Amino acid sequence: MSAVRTERYVEESRRGIADPVLRRALSGLQERFGRGTAEAYRRLPEGPGLRQTAHAIREKAIANLDLLLERLAARIRANGGEVFFAATGEEAVSYCAGIARRRGVKLAVKGKSMVTEEIGLNSVLAAQGVEVVETDLGEYIIQLAGESPSHIIAPAIHKTRNEVADLFARKLGIPYTTDPPRLTQAARRALREKFLAADMGISGVNLACAETGHISTVSNEGNIRMATTLPPVHVAFMGLERIVARLDEYEIILRLLCRGASVQDIGTYVSLIGGPRRPGESDGPEEFHLVVVDNGRSRLLADPRFREMLCCIRCAACLNVCPVYGRIGGHAYGFAYSGPVGAVVTPLLTGVQRGRDLCRGETLCGACKDACSMDIDLPRMLLELRAILAAGDATWGVKPEGGLERNVWRIWAGLVSHPGLYERLLRAGAVLQGLLPRGVAGWIRRLPPPLSGWTQSRDFPPLAKAPFRSRWARRRREVGRG
C-alpha cells in the first residue's frame, strides 16, 4: 500500500488554500470540465437519465461479481493469459515483482493506473532494481518531479508550465522552453526510447467485460496502447469491481466514463485486450497477466451502506465540481484518491478513524452526486461515515466518539425536545451576548472556542432581541385585542 497521510487533511488543506497558483489551475479545470461534463450529459442521445441506467448496470454487476470475474478469468485463461486474484495490495505487488524477477525485467513502462498508485507498485519494483517509467504525460511530469498525483485524470494539474519547463530542462537536458508543443515533443522523444527498450508493460483497467473476456483501457495520448503492445510482457491491474456483464453494458459505461473524465464522446484510444499475442499475430505481448485486486474492496461489498461505492469507475467528474477539492487540491486527501471519491473511498480502504477529517471536512453540497457519471450518492455515504464515527462501528474498527462532542449533542437533543427550556436559553443568550466584542451593525467580532473557527474570517450574527416565537405571540395578542 502506498503511504497514507489522511491524518494531515487539515494542515495539508491549509497549504493548498494558501497556494494561489493551485487555485487558478483548479478554477480553470473546474470551469472547463465541471460545466462541460454537465452539458455533455444533457446532450446524450438517451438524455441525462443514462446515468441512472448506468448505475443500475453497475449495481447488477457488483451483485454478481463472483460470477462475472470467474467468467472473465476463464476467457482470458482460455486465450492463453494468466489471471491472479490478489487479496491484498502486497500480494498484487509481489505477483508482479515475481514476474519481473523471472523475466529479468530491467525497464517497465506504465500506463496511468490509480490502483497501482493505491497499492504502491512503483516503489517495490524500483527497490528490486526495475526502472519504472510512467508514460502518461502528466504522470511522467510528476514522476520526474518526485511527487504524487493531485487529480485522478489530470495528475499534474498542480504544476505550472514554468515548473514543467524547469523540470524538463534539468531532467531531460533540453534547452529551457515554456512552449507546450516543444515540451510535449521532448517528453515524447524520451518516452519513445523507453517504449522500445522496455521488458514489461504495466497498465490499469478502465473496465472489463465478462461476456467477451476483455479488459479495456482508455487514453488520449496513445501511451497505454504502446505500453501494452510493445513490451514482451503486459501486466494489467484492476480493482475487483471494474467489470460489467455484457458488451452493450460496457458500451454505456464507456461513453459515460469519457464524458465524466474529459468531456469527450469517446477517448482517442480505446483498447480491448483479451490475452497475449496469438500465433500469426504481429502485435502484442508474449505474456499477458491480469491482476484482480481486492485490497479491502470486499469489505465494501459486504456492507450494504457502502457497496454503492464499488459502482465508481474513477472518472473524476466529482473532482471537477467539488468546491472543497477546488480550494484544497488533491494532495490534502493524503492518498491516491482525492476529491469526493477520495473522501469516501480512502477512509474505507485505509481506515475510517484515521481518515475522519476526510469524512467530515465537506459541506455536503451535493454537486458530486449530480456530476457522477454513475449517479453515485456520495453525500449519503459521507453521512454514513459520520454516523459510524459518532456511534462507533466494530466492523470498521471505530470506537464511539466520546467526551465533549458526544455530550454537546446529547444536551442539544434534550434542549430541542424541551421547548420551554430552549426558549429560556435563547433569551439568556440574547442577554449574555452583550459581553462579546462587536463589529459593524452589532455583529460579533470574536467567539470563544469551540466556536472561534467561525470568527476567524467572519463576524457572527447577534441573536435577535425577540425571537420569532415571542413576536408571533405578541402579534396574536394584538390581533385578539383589535
Residue type for 4, please? V
Cβ-proximal residues to 26 (8 Å cutoff; 6+ apart), any chain: 157, 325, 326, 327, 329
Instruction: Give the whole-angstrom CA distance, residue 256 versus residue 47.
Output: 12
Please say which residue, 232 or 392, places its beta carbon nearer to other proteins. Answer: 392
- Closest contact distance (angstroms) between CB of 25 and other proteins is 15
CB proximity list for 203: less than 8 A, separation 6 or greater: 110, 111, 113, 217, 224, 227, 228, 234, 235, 236, 237
Q: Is the CB of 127 or the CB of 441 nearer to other proteins?
A: 441
Our CB check for other proteins shows the closer of 21 and 266 to be 21
Min dist CB 472 to other proteins, Å, is 5
CB of 152 to other proteins, least distance (A): 20
SS3 85: strand
As measured in angstroms, the least distance from the Cβ of 413 to other proteins is 4
Closest to other proteins by CB, 28 or 450: 450
- The end-to-end CA distance of the chain, in Å, is 75
Q: Which is nearer to other proteins, 67 or 391 (CB)?
A: 391
Chain residues that interact with other proteins, rule: CB under 8 A: 10, 13-14, 17, 323-324, 327-328, 357, 360-367, 369-370, 383, 385-391, 406, 409-410, 412-417, 419, 422, 426, 429, 439-441, 443, 445, 450-451, 453-454, 456-464, 466-469, 471-475
Output Rg (C-alpha) for the chain, integer angstroms.
26
The C-alpha atoms of residue 117 and residue 248 are separated, in whole angstroms, by: 30
Least CB distance to other proteins at residue 468 (A): 4
Please state the closest distance from residue 50 (CB atom) to other proteins, in A: 19
What does the DSSP assignment read for 17-78?
HT-HHHHHHHHHHIIIIIHHHHHHHHT-TT-TTHHHHHHHHHHHHHHTHHHHHHHHHHHHHH
- In the complex, what is the shortest distance from the CB of residue 359 to other proteins, in angstroms, rounded to a whole number? 8
Which is closer to other proteins, CB of 176 or CB of 443?
A: 443
Number of neighbouring beta carbons within 10 Å of residue 443: 13
Nearer to other proteins, 126 or 387 (CB): 387
